[in-house]
Amino acid sequence: MQRKDIRNIAIIAHVDHGKTTLVDQMLKQSGTFRTNEIVEERVMDSNSLEKERGITILSKNTAVSYKDVKINIFDTPGHADFGGEVERIMQMVDGVLLLVDAFEGPMPQTRFVLQKALDSGLTPFVVINKIDRPAARAAEVIDEVLDLFIDLDATDEQLEFPVIYASAVGGYAMLSEEDERTDLAPLFEGILDHIPSPQGDDEDGLQLLISTIDYDKYIGRIGIGKIMRGKVAKGETVVHARTTGDFVNVKIVNLYNFQGLKRVEIDTATVGDIVAISGISEISIGDTICSIDKVDPLPFVKIDDPTISMNFMVNDSPFAGREGTFVTSRHLKDRLEKEMLSNVAMGLEELSADSFKVLGRGELHLSILIETMRREGYEFAVSRPQVIMKKTEEGLMEPMEKLFVEAPEENASAVIEKIGQRKGEMLNMLPTGTGMMKLEFRVPARGLIGYRSEFLTDTKGYGIFHHLFDGYDHYKGEIRARTRGSLIAFEGGTSVAYGIYNAQERGRIFIHPGTEVYEGMVVGESSRLEDIAVNVCKRKQLTNIRSSGADDALKLVPPVVFSLEQSLEFIADDELVEITPKNIRLRKRILDKVTRERAQRKTQG
């Protein structure tokens, strides 16, 4: 059976090439919204973090109708850190819209997401977006896309991809650059003509692969997936085939499909439909829902292994419990276990009653989880990110990254030198003709931890870099993570201008006057290699000559205020980041100065 009335597609692209904006326009022009309905921009980026950062973090699905054909659309992340989201969506679609910027052309993450689509045997459809940019070079970009397809070993059928020219912001698409710029009709027609319709036997036993998990506080867990075979009905008893190998008879309480941005209750669904089901409390990604008379679970796509880990632990600082709602180890464990159910690219190991190791794809992958938990009211501490090594017969192996850099020509030598210090090997160097230099390196993943802020300083903010996982290689030797120590608060209290003024002679300060500090808290970066204890709470002794108003004359250097990512990059192995809903603080693992020095002597000796 071939479902001519359905198309299932994923939109894939590099970060900021316009995926979410294009979906916005498809929703508007397909009549999904009422004419008087107020719709915000990038409506698919529903997560507050997605709106703030302008990136897609979670893959999301919607559906539009065009000429009586239902088009199920999946908006996928562009960052390689969220590759787990991309990989599982490839199981639910029959084709992909590859969006490429008409000026930038294929970028590193374009390669990553396209590789996943081609490996899954999906039919590609190329959209050259931002055709209205002044420096658009569509013809050259199409050649670059073709080279990328060849480089990724695309099949002959995949190489015959159709091309549409579009402007997601302008809301129009064209078959050629000279066509009239009206609406997205050419794009919709192209999807109907070139994306295969789903096929399967609707008379055979049910086979529904769960690829996404949603949660509703009233309904509970909701499994979302594509019906590969057979039919399903609301109230039907089916077999829940779990990835653990267990088979359980369950009842489908509610059945939904998608219309626009809404879940709509339905009674039945068949081959090719994207559906959501509720009533199965233990449902997880990768499970198969089968009919009772034919239990035939599907193999789930292998998700790439995590490459980086971080320890999450209960906050034990002197300020613990002041600002967070969820502060205990039970709260922390429950929240992390809940995350593992829907975030297939993450892993979790319990180290002790109060400490957990979380494994992920990259710093951004883990920092998004930390920021999400912080906003939910959780309070905890995290360690410096560590790469995950592998021990094999050949010896110790470490994850490697392909690093793609675009930097001003006058700063290229500084970048090459810094990457060399981090055990990186330069693969390619190409001037762009616009004063910028394109560089390509192969570098250990641990060499990139903490490099981003240094890179932006070296390139005066004009540099851009992206990196992709590039397999494992032999351990490259020690890399010095930090060239400077920390300034550590000598005692607890409230920082004052006089104390900070004296401390700033020793390095960069991270706090303002009036900040509450505790002993062992990191308040700045030392100008030397070793840590220095400073007293930022020290007040000037008042005499009949010195007045309290004399502090007004002290000139303080504005403090450096770190974001969450910068904090994670900055800390050393013996330091932690304290996360609360109101503050992000840096601290030593061992707060007491004498105990800390004793522990250091023990490790050195």
Q: Which residues are annotated as a binding site for GTP?
A: 16-21, 129-132
Distance CA(480)–CA(450), nearest Å, equals 11
Exposure of 223 by Cβ count < 10 A (0-12 exposed, 13-18 middle, 19+ buried)? Answer: buried
306 with 388: CB under 8 angstroms? yes
Q: Could you tell me where the DSSP H helices lie in 247-362?
A: 329-342
Residue 518: closest CA among 539, 540, 500, 535: 535
Q: Pick from 130, 139, 92, 120: which is nearest to 14 by CA?
A: 130
DSSP conformation letters of 413-442: HHHHHHHHHTT-EEEEEEE-SSSEEEEEEE
Token duo for residue 306: 């995590």
3-state per-residue secondary structure call for 531-585:
CEEECCCCCCCCCCCCCHHHHHHCCCCCCCCCCHHHHHHHCCCCEEEEECCCCEE
Q: What is the DSSP letter of 280?
A: -
Report the alpha-carbon distance of residue 84 to residue 58 in Å, rounded. Answer: 10
Whose tokens are 């900055």? That residue is 570
For residue 399, the surrounding DSSP H or E stretch is strand 395-408
Report how many helices (DSSP H) and strands (DSSP E) the chain contains, helices first: 14, 35
**CA 506/CA 262 separation, integer angstroms:** 57
| Radius of gyration of the CA atoms of the chain, in A | 27
Count Cβ neighbours within 10 Å for each residue of 128-158 and write b for 16 or more, e otherwise.
Answer: bbbbeeeebebeebbeebbebbeeeebeeeb
* Alpha-carbon span 417 to 401, nearest angstrom: 17
| Phi, psi for residue 402 in degrees, rounded to 5 | -85, 125
Provide the token pair at 138.
């569509």
Residues 6 or more apart in contact with residue 488 via CB below 8 angstroms: 520, 521, 522, 523, 531, 532, 533, 534, 588, 593
Q: Are 408 and 463 in contact (CB under 8 A)?
A: yes
The answer to whether residues 374 and 578 touch, using CB atoms and an 8 Å cutoff, is no
Q: Are 496 and 517 in contact (CB under 8 A)?
A: no
Dist. CA 499–CA 530, nearest whole Å: 20
Exposed (0-12), middle (13-18) or buried (19+): which is 338, by Cβ within 10 Å?
exposed
CB-count exposure of residue 259 (10 Å: 0-12, 13-18, 19+)? middle
The H-assigned helical ranges of 54-137 are 83-89, 108-119
Tokens of 22: 């294009």
- Residues belonging to the binding site are 16-21, 129-132
